Amino acid sequence: MAKILVIEDASELRNDILEMLSLEGYETLGAANGYIGVDIAFNEPPDLIVCDVMMPELDGYGVLERVRSNPLTSTIPFIFLTSKTEHSSVRQGMTLGADDYLTKPFMVSELLDTIRTQLKKKEDQARDTRQHMDKLRENIITALPHELRTPLNTVLGFSEMLINEADNIPPEQVREWGQHILSAGQRLLRMTENYLSYTRSNVVLRSPEMLDKYRQERLYNVRAIVEGQAERTAERYRRTGDMVSAVEEAHHVIIAQADLMKIVDELLDNAFKFSMPGTPVRLTGRPEAERYLLTIEDEGRGIDAVNIQNIGAYMQFDRWFYEQQGMGLGLAIVDQLVRLYDGIFTIQATGLPGTRAVVQLRISSG
């Protein structure tokens, strides 16, 4: 049964709650003040915390802040007990991260219903996480061996043929086999670079000091960088004729040049990969208020609303149905790079075949 920690300085009320919860089959822990409660939560993490707001020394808000700041306890459901009925008090608790609250005096049934609701929500979240991890494992198992073996087999196979047939093959055959080796090597290099980019942005997002340094970056020639990268990506797919661009200039955009190039490349790579040659891929960029909006739209097969919510590393959608290259890192890399610079990234289904990707980057005032 679930373990519940009750933090309440009024001993009679605390004992009544603990007894009632014990009778319901819950394992209980009690604390007479906020400091004791935090200590218990850190040493014996409960499944749920019920905490009074108004307590001496360390009040409920202080308890909540400490609980939320510790990775071991940050996701524990937290219910406030308060005798204060002012809206501002309730709002303050919810803003800090409380999951629910009860106003004293309360009925036993109210407390039990609130506890059951929060425990069920936690259980549902845990189930969703397990399902997501299972899907992630499935995608890694499916994608990774294929994505590594295919180019490696190409490199090894054509290299061996070149060695064995070196004295007999004509120059044009050497060039053809060499091109196969080069293409396979470039594919492996792209996978390696994507993995390193994803890992680097993951680390930075967890470091406030590094984030602050990244957000000091300023870019002054956005148009040339975006259009230059767009041309290179279109050439890679031999679809320069499908590229329709209208990119406006902007100064003081908060992003590093290399990361903007990576964002444009990954989004256009997806647009070209999942749309047919001969259909347009539209790229627009314009300043709007304090943001620079970069939009890439294609007329390919699109992503449905459910899959849009599941964008993440190693997540390729409908891989069993569609034969495609890649490990599903592209959109996850874009999402992380945009967040590095305090921007916003969204993927939208257009309502027709096709997908619209929108990146909003901050523009500094100076």
175-215 pLDDT, tens digit each: 999 999 999 998 888 888 888 888 888 888 888 888 889 99
CATH, domain range 3-106? 3.40.50.2300
Residue 310 in this model has a pLDDT that exceeds 90: no
Query: At the topology level of CATH, where does 211-362 sit?
Result: Heat Shock Protein 90 (3.30.565)
Quote the pLDDT of residue 87.
Answer: 54
Quote the pLDDT of residue 303.
Answer: 61
Q: Is 305 within 8 Å of 311 (Cβ atoms)?
A: no
Quote the pLDDT of residue 126.
Answer: 81
Mean pLDDT, residues 273-296: 94
Q: Which residue has the tokens 């090894």?
A: 156
Query: At the topology level of CATH, where does 131-207 sit?
Result: Helix Hairpins (1.10.287)
Residue 145 in this model has a pLDDT that exceeds 60: yes
30-54 pLDDT, tens digit each: 999 999 999 999 999 999 999 999 8
The secondary structure of the chain, three-state, reads CCEEEEECCCHHHHHHHHHHHHHCCCEEEEECCHHHHHHHHHHCCCCEEEEECCCCCCCHHHHHHHHHHCCCCCCCCEEEEECCCCHHHHHHHHHHCCCEEEECCCCHHHHHHHHHHHHHHHHHHHHHHHHHHHHHHHHHHHHHHHHHHHHHHHHHHHHHHHHHCCCCCCHHHHHHHHHHHHHHHHHHHHHHHHHHHHHHHHHHHCCHHHHHHHCCCCECCHHHHHHHHHHHHHHHCCCHHHEEEEECCCCCECCCHHHHHHHHHHHHHHHHHCCCCCCCEEEEEEEECCEEEEEEECCCCCCCHHHHHCCCCCCCCCCCCCCCCCCCCHHHHHHHHHHHCCCEEEEEECCCCCEEEEEEEEECCC
What is the β-pairing status of strands 291-297 and 281-288? antiparallel
Q: What is the pTM for the complete model shown?
A: 0.57
Q: Is 177 within 8 Å of 162 (Cβ atoms)?
A: yes
Residue 147 in this model has a pLDDT that exceeds 80: no
Residue 307 in this model has a pLDDT that exceeds 80: no
List the single range of 76-90, 153-167, 205-219, 268-282 with lowest mean pLDDT: 76-90
**Taking the domains of the chain in order of start, what are their residue ranges?**
3-106, 131-207, 211-362
Residue 105 in this model has a pLDDT that exceeds 70: yes
Number of neighbours of residue 337 by Cβ within 10 angstroms:
27
Query: Residues 6 or more apart from 278 whose CB is under 8 A from it?
Result: 242
What is the residue-averaged pLDDT of the chain? 85
212-230 pLDDT, tens digit each: 899 999 999 999 999 999 9
